[in-house]
Amino acid sequence: SAPNGAPIRPVDDPQARAEAARLLRAGALVAFPTETVYGLGADATDEEAVARIFAAKDRPRFNPLISHVPTAEAAFALGEPTPAAETLAAAHWPGPLTMVLRRRPGCPIAWLTSAGLETVALRVPESAAARALLAEAGRPIAAPSANRSGRVSPTTAAHVAEELGDRVALILDGGPCPVGLESTVVDLSGTRPRLLRPGAVTREQLEALLGPVELAAAGDAIAAPGMLASHYAPRAAVRLDATDRRPGEAFLDFGTTRADADFDLSPSGDLVAAAAHLFAALRRLDRPGVTAIAVAPIPAGGLGAAINDRLRRAAAPRG
């Protein structure tokens, strides 16, 4: 294992996978190999577990995460398949392709996982050991690359140990990743397929199956997912650093500053809990009759940076 760090165990060892599945179901972080890069995994349906992904990566903003599942059937139980999605699944799943689909009603994927969006990103990885782990976990596993924010994506267990050995419960080792580059992300939730992130499955391969595939415009999904026009923003205005409640406003508290708050992101002032509840709370308070959501001050440190980034975007003038 890594010095002062998580144990590293072979992904081909069924007992190691059983332990990893148990840890994931309990809300812990587990790094695991896929054919593209190592993923920093957490239960995609557990908002606090997903918040811990962002904390572990020191990520300054919340972007939507990919949920990994063992089969296309499991994927299409979460996101609405379109004919194009069925075609791509038949040709490229399992494999280094992620599809963005509309959420099905009742989809259990946490709002933090999808950064508040009505769509979910789904992938069935090629690696048989990874799929065995996902089947055993029995729930979708959110997993960005297992590196700290701003660092290169890890393609060996040793890289993961260097980056995050002190922040995960277990590292599964599957040797070097054969692809070494993140999956292709294609958005099938709109009228035309759009390539959001290039990867091992090429645009030419997609177009051979689907016909024309639009490219995401420069500077959107890849450079700044939080700026996407489709990114979730409440209908109501958002007022930051609020200490009072004005007529027509709902009050979103942090650390119990007001007794009459509509919701408290974390009564005890815990930023992981606040991140976990942020998108669900904005949705809950963004209801008819509410002209603005007043938000209590959120501290800047740790996950506070990502929470404040999201709130500033929600509060910015709409174009």
Residue with tokens 């007794």: 259
Token look-up 């050995």 returns 165
Is 184 labeled as ligand-binding?
no
Question: What's the burial of 90, exposed, middle or buried (CB within 10 Å: 0-12/13-18/19+)?
Answer: exposed
Nearest distance, CB of residue 182 and Mg ion, angstroms:
6
User: Is 114 among the residues that bind ligand TXA (CB under 6 A)?
Assistant: yes
Phi-psi region of 249 (alpha: psi -120 to 50; beta: other; left: phi over 0): beta
> Is 145 within any annotated ligand binding site?
yes
Contact partner at residue 221 from Mg ion, ligand TXA, none, CB < 5 to 8 Å by partner kind: ligand TXA
Site for Mg ion in 141-160 (CB under 5 A): 145, 153
d(CA 169, CA 166): 8
Beta bridge partners of 120: 101
The phi-psi region of residue 313 (left if phi > 0; otherwise alpha if psi is between -120 and 50; otherwise beta) is alpha
Give the binding range for Mg ion (CB under 5 A) out of 9-17, 80-88, 140-148, 228-236. 140-148
* Window contacting ligand TXA (CB under 6 A); options: 11-19, 81-89, 119-127, 307-315: 119-127
Q: Distance between CA atoms of 127 and 130, rounded to whole angstroms?
A: 5
Q: Determine, following the binding rule CB under 6 A, whether residue 102 of this chain makes contact with ligand TXA.
A: no
Contact partner at residue 117 from Mg ion, ligand TXA, none, CB < 5 to 8 Å by partner kind: ligand TXA
Question: What is the C-alpha to C-alpha distance for residues 282 and 269, in angstroms, rounded to an integer?
Answer: 18
Our finding on whether 36 is near Mg ion (CB under 5 A) is no
Residues near ligand TXA, by CB under 6 A = 34, 36-37, 39, 63-66, 98, 100, 114, 117, 119-121, 123, 143-145, 182-183, 185, 187, 196-197, 221-222, 225
Residues near Mg ion, by CB under 5 A = 145, 153
